[in-house]
Amino acid sequence: MKVVILDSPAEVARYGADIFQQQLKRKPDSVFGLATGSTPVQLYRELIERNRAGDISFGAVRSFNLDEYMDLPPTHPQSYRYFMNSEFFDHIDIDPANTRVPPGDAPDPIAACEAYEQAIGDAGGIDIQLLGIGRNGHIGFNEPTSCLTSRTRVKTLTRETIADNARFFAEGEHQPHLSVTMGIGTIMEARLVVLLATGASKAAAVKAMVEGPVSAWCPASILQMHPAAVVIADEEAASHLSDPGFFKHIEAENQAMLARLGRA
């Protein structure tokens, strides 16, 4: 697991966007795994700007989102489909037909989850998976105690996650307690994983992910076992790590080596 610690959320977004840009350069028809939540919004804005500037194109990209609330239609302003359209897809040159979000309102959710897994496989698997992290260490909606080899399925949200996300719902508005989420096994099959973490509220989860035992109690800790996982954290999110200076030293050495090789 590579850990990059940067000064601000804006730098986290730019560093993450650079990784996506490099991925598109390597493979213009990449398959993206995408996330919602507040953390990736700045990264999406970066990518939108680069798309507008003509630096990158999403014309050949296919995407699969991590998760969706159960029982919210895609037109609902709190649905993750609505979020992705309004925060990202509507502003870039991606073909909307090539974007998928797990169906939260499918008449047969179990069959829909199987079909989602099938569609990811048919697309050749996910090349680059974007993640945020919950305060409780969740990735996607794989809450603590989730099976570490799980596949796309219906998942009950913890009371903590429901409380964390209540800010997005109006007073008295129905807030789902169930979700459809890619599994941890699904996420682990992505060729490259990029996890963003910003703000002090994520510091304990980041420490458990990076330093803790690999445990279903902190689902993100499984990323220690991923061959190509990059954690990009701001100072606050990294503030509980035992030795943040070590990761900064490694990153400085890496950048120096890339400069020597003319690849910086």
Catalytic residue annotation: 67, 136, 138, 143
Q: Give the binding-site size for ligand F6R (rule: CB under 6 A).
A: 13
Asked if 128 and 192 touch (Cβ cutoff 8 Å), the reply is yes
Asked if 231 and 197 touch (Cβ cutoff 8 Å), the reply is yes
User: Does 16 contact ligand F6R by CB under 6 A?
Assistant: no
Helix (H) or strand (E) holding 113: helix 109-122
What is the rounded CA–CA span in Å between residue 93 and residue 90?
A: 8
Residues 218-257 that bind ligand F6R (CB under 6 A): none
- Pick 36 or 63: Cβ nearer ligand F6R: 36
User: Does 67 contact ligand F6R by CB under 6 A?
Assistant: yes
Sheet holding 178-181, edge to edge: 67-69, 178-181, 153-156
What is the rounded CA–CA span in Å between residue 79 and residue 191?
A: 27
In Å, what is the CA distance from 17 to each residue of 23, 87, 140, 231? 10, 15, 20, 13
Sheet holding 31-34, edge to edge: 2-6, 229-234, 192-197, 128-131, 31-34, 62-65, 99-100
- Pick 40 or 109: Cβ nearer ligand F6R: 40
Among 35, 56, 205, 206, which residue interacts with ligand F6R (rule: CB under 6 A)?
35
Among 8, 25, 28, 38, which residue interacts with ligand F6R (rule: CB under 6 A)?
38
What is the rounded CA–CA span in Å between residue 260 and residue 264?
A: 8
Residues 118-157 that bind ligand F6R (CB under 6 A): 132-134, 138-140
- Pick 23 or 198: Cβ nearer ligand F6R: 198
What is the rounded CA–CA span in Å between residue 250 and residue 237?
A: 18
- Pick 109 or 137: Cβ nearer ligand F6R: 137
Residue, CB closest to ligand F6R: 132
Among 23, 30, 39, 129, which residue interacts with ligand F6R (rule: CB under 6 A)?
39
User: Does 36 contact ligand F6R by CB under 6 A?
Assistant: yes
Minimal distance, residue 201 CB to ligand F6R, in Å: 8
Q: Give me the residues that bind ligand F6R (CB under 6 A), please.
A: 35-39, 66-67, 132-134, 138-140
